[in-house]
Amino acid sequence: MQVLVVNAGSSSLKYAVVDAGSGQRLISGLVERIGEEGAAAGDHRSAFAFVRAAVQESGAQPRVVGHRVVHGGERFTAPTVITDDVVAGIADCIPLAPLHNPAALAGIAAAREEYPDLPQVAVFDTAFHATMPPDAYTYALDRDVAQRYRLRRYGFHGTSHRYVSRKAADLLGASPVAVDVISLHLGNGASACAVRGGRSVDTSMGVTPLAGLVMGTRSGDIDPAIPVLLQQDGWSAFEVDTLLNRSSGLLGIGGANDMREIHQRAAAGDGSADLARRVFAHRIRHYLGAYLAVLGGADAIVFTAGIGEHDAWTREAVCAGLARLGVVLDPAANSATGSDARVISAPDSPTTVFVIPTDEEWAIAAESAEVTAD
C-alpha cells in the first residue's frame, strides 16, 4: 500500500509517497519557506495543493496520508486515525509543543482538504515512550505543579527508536520481546532510549526535545538553575529559550552545529571544536552507562541517524574501554563505511553493537498502513 507521508514544519512541508511494504519512495520532496515573501506557497494549504499536483504527476496513488506529529501528550500512545476529536487532542498538546504541534495541525488541515477521501493517520514522536514506568517519567517536582502543567518525561524520536530496536532484534534472530536494546539516535537532534522487550522504559528527552544528550544547537541536560540565574540577571524567557535551543550544543561550544565541520576544525587544531565533540561523546557514554544499569545489561546497542550512522570517531569515543560492561568494538568494522545495517562489535563482545540506518518515513508509512488496514 502506498502512503503519503507528511512532515509539516512551521515554514516547510516535507512529503514522500512510500510503499509501506518495501519502503520504496515513489516521489519525495520539500516545500520550503512557506509564508515567506516570494515563496512558492503562501500557506500550508497552497503548499499541499502543490504536493497533490506533484504526486498526481508522478503517477503515485497513495491510499492513506500519514502525518508526523511531534507531541501526543499522555493521550496518544499509538498511531491514530485522524478525526475532529483527534485534531482537538493534538491542539490540546500545543502548550507542550508550541512550535511543532500547530505546524502539524496546519499540515493535517490542508491534507484533509486536498485529500478528503483518504484516511489520515497521526504518528506521534512521543507514542513509543508511553510504556515508560512512572519511576522513569516522573519529575521530582511539586505534584500539583507537575500535574497542572503536565510536566513529566514524554520522550521523542519514538518512531526511530522503535524502528531500529526492532531491526536489531531481527538481526539478532530474536523476537523484539526477547531482547533488551539501547538505541542511540544521533542526528541534529539526539536522544537515547532503553528498550526492554520491545518497549521503551527510559529515554533522554523530556517534556520537550531539549533534554538529554548534547545536540547540534541544543544544550541537552544542564543544571536546571541556570535559566533561573540568567532570568534573575534580566534575560527574558525568549532569550533563554533561544540560548538553549539555538545557540548551544556543538555550535555553542565548538562554533559549528555540523559534526563534519567540528571534526575539520578539530583536525586543524581548534581546541573548542575538539572539546565540543568530547563533551558530545561523554554525554552519550553517560546515558549509555545509565541505560546499561536500567536494563541490567543489554543484548544490543544501536547507533543511528546522521552521526550514529556515519561517524566512526563518535562511536569509538562512546564505546572505548567498556569491555567490563560487555561492550567491545571491532575497530576495522567500526571504521568501515556503508549504508546497510551492520555489526561493529567484536565477535566475542557480549553486547552486539550495530549501525542501523533509521528510516522514519518508512516507519510512519508502515504504521499508517497498519492502523488503517482492516
Binding site residues, ligand ADP, CB under 6 A: 187-189, 216, 258-260, 305-307, 310-311
Q: All 3 cell numbers of residue 303?
A: 547507533
142 is catalytic: no
Residue nearer to ligand ADP on the CB measure, 52 or 157? 157
* 176/79 Cα distance (integer angstroms): 19
Residue nearer to ligand ADP on the CB measure, 259 or 273? 259
- Which of 125, 180, 202, 299 is flagged as catalytic? 125
Sign of CA dihedral 289, 291, 292, 293: positive
Q: How far is the CB of 156 from ligand ADP (least distance, A)?
A: 11
* Nearest residue to ligand ADP, scored by beta-carbon proximity: 306
Q: Which residues contact 278 (CB under 8 A, 6 or more apart)?
A: 317
How buried is 271 (Cβ within 10 angstroms: 0-12 exposed, 13-18 middle, 19+ buried)? Answer: exposed
* 10/105 Cα distance (integer angstroms): 10
Residue nearer to ligand ADP on the CB measure, 100 or 310? 310
Q: How far is the CB of 148 from ligand ADP (least distance, A)?
A: 32
Phi-psi region of 240 (alpha: psi -120 to 50; beta: other; left: phi over 0): alpha
Q: How far is the CB of 185 from ligand ADP (least distance, A)?
A: 8
Q: How far is the CB of 215 from ligand ADP (least distance, A)?
A: 8
CB atoms within 10 A of CB 59: 9
Q: How far is the CB of 312 from ligand ADP (least distance, A)?
A: 8
* 51/56 Cα distance (integer angstroms): 8
CB atoms within 10 A of CB 207: 19
Residue nearer to ligand ADP on the CB measure, 179 or 363? 363
- Compute φ and ψ for 87, nearest 5 degrees: -60, -45
Q: Which residues contact 116 (CB under 8 A, 6 or more apart)?
A: none
Residue nearer to ligand ADP on the CB measure, 244 or 307? 307
Residue nearer to ligand ADP on the CB measure, 89 or 306? 306
* 326/352 Cα distance (integer angstroms): 9
- Give the distance from CA 220 to its chain's centroid: 14
Give the residues across from 303 on adjacent strands: 184, 355
Q: How far is the CB of 292 from ligand ADP (least distance, A)?
A: 24
Q: Which active-site residues does the annotation give?
A: 125
